[in-house]
Structures are given as structure tokens and as C-alpha cells.
Amino acid sequence: MSRQRSEYPKEAMWDLEDFFETQDDWESQFTELFNVAKEGWNKLMLFKGKAAVDAKTIKELLTTYFEASRDLEKLYTYAHLRHDENVGEDFFKNSFEKTLALAYQFNQMSSWIEPEILKIDENLFKKYITDPLLQPYKFFLERLYRQKEHVLSDEQEKIISMAARTQRTPRGAFSAFSNVDLQFPKIKNSKGEELQLTQGSYQVLMKSSDRTLRENAFKTLHSSFGSFENTICELISGQVQNHVFTQKVRGYKSCLEASLKPHNIPTDVYLSLIETVRNNLDVLHHYVGVRKKVMGLETLKFWDMSVPLVSKCNMKFSYEEACDIVINSVAPLGDEYQRILKKGIKEDRWVDVYESKGKRTGAYSSGCYDSMPYILMNFQGTLQDVLTLSHEAGHSMNSLLSNRDQVYHEAQYPIFIAEVASTFNEQLTYEYLLEKAETKEEKLYILNQQIDGMRATFFRQAMFAEFELKIHQFAENDIPLTPALLKEEYRKLNLDYFGSNLVIDEEVNWEFLRVPHFYYNFYVYQYATGIAAAVTLVDKVKQTNNKSYLEFLASGGSDYPINILKKAGVDMCSQEAVETLLKTFRSLMEKFEKEIV
């Protein structure tokens, strides 16, 4: 059973007091902003109907809008972090919901801004964006104008913004169900001893040398989700229908285009990723065959896919050791990068470290322009937890450097490149651990984990991306997303991706039910493209220097993601990065096979 949050020292928790000293301070600022909202955001509304007057008016309008947005973001960030400490706690849930309500109200009251700016005559608009007064907003305005055909009238935009609150229901309901309401029974190991299964402990159990324990953990977790398959499939369907609604209302050709086009990412980037992975599944099939052979199993099952193949080595780490490893591993990025990261995770308490009752599962990096980049973890002391810390620290440093070097409205980096910085750090950590390995067994253990990490981050996420594309295409063609259909499609993908050496049991059919990223909007493919870009960039940094990469980290959203990556040395419109990843995976497999035999 998870421990209570109160049982941990404050050093193991993120320092939200640095953000707002007390909950009363947060409530005070919320009340102040709420009172402004009740007056109809009067200051902002004064500009309605006047956006086309001159460049000075547009600048004042945008400045006022982004100042209000920044205040809201600060309130929201604190509320969502407190909420994730215990998603079942009513007090913080209430604060979170109040903040969301205020944000939705702000979006409704400001929904006229983009349509009004886009009503400006094209020639006059081109004149405005060359005006020195509007240079701080030039890219924002150019990006907005590219979406002109998909921006609706004032009233239509207001209606869409009013619907936004209801559209978050599937994601919110799944989070509450998965993190709080769903409880798992105890499971037994090969000795008949009982252990409590939790979402936080699941990944640790799947690496256990006790095959009976792994099987029981796998079957229990997935059958628990499977017993609610009708409910969860309705939630997934609801989320997909949200995307279909946006696609149709805004006139995009597909849900995929609706997700990618605003960031100027060609749909071919997504489609070619799936195609390239499909054309190279032989290497994944070979991996599965090697795992089966090394484990000496007649039948390889899904609960055998995470256990280390080097049984004599079981690396465990304290959180302090994990911090030191991550800090030391990023030495190629320079002294300043190391210094900032060390201070953040060791002194400034960026990280909420351990699993506790009701705490949100998984891990993430979050924050806002006016806060430190906080990290949520559920640390269990495994090598994977070390790599998770490295991953999230990559996100946090990306955020910190972007916030430092960019103005507020250009600081948020595009989602497409979000996973590059995180997986880049992971690759550095793997290389550091391999260099410091003291025995052949340790080296093989780490190499095994690196290969498994690439399998999970690249191949598995590409499979998820293909599944996500399929279910959206079904919905676009009015095909109901029933449990039978989704289970069948998910099973087919697993058969294709993993090949004949892996037996697909019934519980595998339910795996998609527990994946929170299917409630995002075409997010998962970016793990695959992100690690492909990261592996390519690691090689480039080692061959040259870290200057262009550090500039990439500090770029924020000052340009389109494809352009930002190209400046750093990776063209994601070509197959270079994906092919480099595949080449690296094959090379690692060859090294591992040579040593393990």
C-alpha cells in the first residue's frame, strides 16, 4: 500500500512555497483575478472592435491579453500541482476546478481576438507586421494568419470556447478513475506470499526475476482495467469525438491535420514514421527472438518483456545517487547547464520524489513562466527511475532555458520538440553509466536497458501512434469505437509489431485501456520522433560542440518546430533521424548479442 504523503520529509517534495508561500496567498490572487473576471475582463474588452485601428492598438491589445494569460497560467500551475499530490483530495480538486472555470471564462471572453485580427485587410496586415511596434509579436501574428481559413467568426469562436470545458470530461474522468477509484487486489509471488499491486509498483514488479509474480501482476493489472472496458472505451470515444468535432468545425481534412497543421508540421512526418517503422519491423522481431533465446523460454509472454536479461545484476539506487548520475552524465552540455540542474534537483526542490496515496501516477515536468520547472516522480530506486529523472530533467532544463531567453508568448516550446530534450538526456545518461560500469554484467545490464528503452520509446510509441491514427480514422468515418473493435485492432498491431516469437494473451488486448496519452491529441508519435532526433543530435554534439544544441533548448516557441530542429542540425522532413535511430538500435543489438553469448 502506498504511504501517506505526510510520512515523507519536505526535502522529498517539490517546493510549492517558492511559488505561493501559502494556500491563502494563492486564494488571495485567485480572488483578485476572479473579481476582474466578473467585471468581464473590462480592460481587455475595451479593445473589441478596434483591433484594425493601428499597430499601436494591436500591440496594446496583445500585451493586455498575454499579461492576463500569464496571471492565469500561474494560478493554474499551482492548482494542478497541488491537485496531483492527491487527485482524490476535495480541497485541492476544488481549487483546480475553480481555476479551470476561470480559464474557460477567460477563453470565452477573449475568443473574439483572433477573428477580429484576421478581419484586417491582407495588405494592411502585411504593413502592420513590418511595423517596429509589432516586432515582438511578429511571429505570433504570422502564425495566426497561416490559420486564417480555420478561424471562425467571433460568435462561432465564442461557442467553441464555451464547449471546451465539457470537452475535458473524458480525460478528467479517466484520470480520476485510473489514479483514485481503480484499486488493485493483492497478488502472490511464486512462494505464495501476498504483495499489494499499485500503478507505481507495477513497472518494478515487471522487472522481477519471479516469473509467477510478473504474470500475476500483468494479468491482474490488465484484467482490472478490462473489467471496465465498456466505460473506458466510451471515454476514449468521447475524447476522439472531441477531435472530430474540432476537425469538422474548423475545416481540416482530418483529425491528424487538425493536430499538426497549427504547428506547421506536415502530416507526412507522422505517416512516414509509421511506414518506416513498418518496413523495419524485422529488427524488432529479431529483438524478441533474442530475448526468448537468452531467457531460455519455450513460450515468451508479455510479462517477460521487461525483466532484465542479465539476471546476476540488479542495480538499485537511492534518489541521491540518481541525482548525482544525472548531473554527471550531462557534462557534455557544459558547466552552466550542470550547475543549474544540480541546484534545481538538489537544493531548490524541483522534484516531488516518491509515490504516495492518491498521487498522480507516472512522471512529468511542469511549471510556468513564473515558476521553477517542477518534476513529479514516483521513484522506486530502479535504473528506469534514474532514467526517468534524467528524462524529466531534460524537459525542465528546456523550459528553464526557454523561459530565460524568450519573452512570455514565445517561451513555450512546441510539443513536437518537447521530447527531444528529454530523450537526449536519457542517451547521455546511458552513455555515462556504460562508461562507469565496473563489470561485464553491469555493462550488459545497462546495454539491455538501453535497448529496452529504445524499444519502448520508439517502436512501442510508433505502434501507439498507428493505433491512435486508426481509431481517429474510424471515428471520422462514423465507425463506432466499440470494445470489440478496439481490442481487435490493438491485438492485430501487437501481432504485427512483435512477431511470432511473442505469444499475445487475452490481457494484452486490454493494454490500451490504461494508456493516459490516448486522451491527448496525437501526442505519442512525438516520443518516437523525439528519440530519433535526440540520438541524431547526441552524435552531432559529440562530433562538434554543444552550442547549436543549447541554442535549440533556449529557442522556446520562437519559430516552427521543424525550423528549430533544422537549425540544430536535424531535418525531420527527411528520414535521416529515424534511419539513424534504427541504425543505432541494430548496432546496440549486435554489441549485446556478441557479449551475452
Q: pLDDT in tens for each of the 597 residues of the chain?
A: 578 898 999 999 999 988 888 888 888 888 888 887 777 678 888 899 998 889 999 999 999 999 999 989 998 999 999 999 998 888 888 989 999 999 988 988 898 999 999 888 889 999 999 999 999 999 999 999 888 889 888 888 888 888 888 888 999 999 889 988 999 999 999 999 999 998 878 988 998 999 999 999 999 999 999 999 999 999 999 999 999 999 999 999 999 999 999 999 999 999 999 999 999 999 999 999 999 999 999 999 999 999 989 877 778 999 999 999 999 999 999 999 999 999 999 999 999 999 998 899 889 999 999 999 999 999 999 899 999 999 999 999 999 999 999 999 999 998 889 999 999 999 999 999 999 998 999 999 999 999 999 999 999 999 999 999 999 999 999 999 999 999 999 999 999 999 999 999 999 999 999 999 999 999 999 999 999 999 999 988 988 888 999 999 999 999 999 999 999 999 999 988 999 999 999 999 999 999 886
**Is 378 in contact with 363 (CB distance < 8 Å)?**
yes
Listed in order, the ranges of the chain carrying CATH 1.20.140.70 are: 5-167
392 belongs to the catalytic site: yes
Amino acid (1-letter code) at residue 468? E
CATH superfamily entry for domain 5-167 = Oligopeptidase f, N-terminal domain (1.20.140.70)
What is 263-287 written as a DSSP string?
Answer: GT--HHHHHHHHHHHHHTHHHHHHH
So what's the pLDDT on residue 560? 95
Helix (H) or strand (E) holding 527: helix 525-543
Of the candidates 394, 364, 395, the one whose C-alpha atom is nearest the C-alpha of residue 377 is: 364
For domain 245-317+411-597, the CATH architecture is Orthogonal Bundle (1.10)
Task: Find the catalytic residue in 85, 229, 355, 392.
Answer: 392
Q: Show the CA angle centred on residue 260, arms to residues 255 and 263, nearest 5°.
A: 145
So what's the pLDDT on residue 543? 85
Output the pTM of the full model: 0.86
Listed in order, the ranges of the chain carrying CATH 1.10.1370.20 are: 245-317+411-597
So what's the pLDDT on residue 1? 52
CATH superfamily entry for domain 183-227 = putative peptidase helix hairpin domain like (1.10.287.830)
Listed in order, the ranges of the chain carrying CATH 1.10.287.830 are: 183-227
- What span, in angstroms and rounded, lies between the C-alpha atoms of 492 and 472? 17
**Is 549 in contact with 541 (CB distance < 8 Å)?**
yes
State whether the Cα torsion 330-332-337-343 is positive or negative.
positive
Residue 193 CB: number of other CB atoms within 10 A? Answer: 11
